Amino acid sequence: MKRKHGSILLFLLLAAVMLAGCSAQSEKAADANGNAAISTLTFSAASLTQELTFVDWTQDGTAMQLIARKDETGEVRLAFNTCQSCGGSPYAWFEYLGSNTLQCQNCGLTFPLDTVGTTKAAGCNPVTITDFTVDGDTVTVPQSVLADNAQRFTNWKKIEQ
């Protein structure tokens, strides 16, 4: 019995450590008319490096994921973790293979991290996000950008277990 509880405790501890890296938050702001609050995605820019950070988000019930990193100059780069070319496929998402390489899980193409979140990223690449702000340590993605791209994720990562 002690072994079972120890395994569960170890699993929970590992899960907490893995989730502690980058936490997305929802912030509320009034719209232009001062009406109901609008959600925006915010997270810490200080936690970003040249390696990838995956930021999970739920927009109107649709699970989404962003890829965030800083480029070699320290500029924040963002992209949606879904493929421009393979979009619509449940496998149109990217995994980090290490060695500065991402791979599309639908078609298998690979490409370097330095294309993530840039305007030179075309074809089989994550969908670049250009409409976001960095204010001090806070990266903010507007609700309109998230809502406008939620449809890209309606069939996303539906892998049969």
Q: Output the domain CATH number for residue 131.
A: 2.102.10
Is residue 160 included in any domain, yes or no?
A: no
| Whole-number pLDDT of residue 18 | 32
Is residue 15 included in any domain, yes or no?
A: no
CA distance 32 to 58: 23
| Whole-number pLDDT of residue 118 | 84
Is residue 120 included in any domain, yes or no?
A: yes
Is residue 102 included in any domain, yes or no?
A: yes
Q: Which of 104, 101, 102, 103 is nearest to 86 (CA)?
A: 104
CA angle 112, 75, 92 (to 5 degrees): 40
| Whole-number pLDDT of residue 147 | 95
Is residue 7 included in any domain, yes or no?
A: no
In degrees and rounded to multiples of 5, residue 11 shows phi and psi of -60, -45
Predicted confidence pLDDT, tens digits, the chain (161 residues): 444 444 443 333 333 323 334 445 544 444 444 434 457 899 999 999 998 999 999 998 899 999 999 999 999 999 999 988 888 788 889 999 988 889 999 999 888 888 888 877 667 789 999 999 999 999 999 999 999 999 999 888 765 43
Is residue 40 included in any domain, yes or no?
A: yes
CA distance 158 to 161: 9
Find the domain containing 57 and state its range.
23-153
Is residue 1 included in any domain, yes or no?
A: no
The number of distinct structural domains making up the chain is 1
- The CA-atom distances, in angstroms, between 24 and each of 83, 101, 160 are 22, 24, 27
| Whole-number pLDDT of residue 133 | 95
| Whole-number pLDDT of residue 158 | 64
User: What 3-state DSSP class applies to 81?
Assistant: strand
Is residue 88 included in any domain, yes or no?
A: yes
What's the pTM?
Answer: 0.74
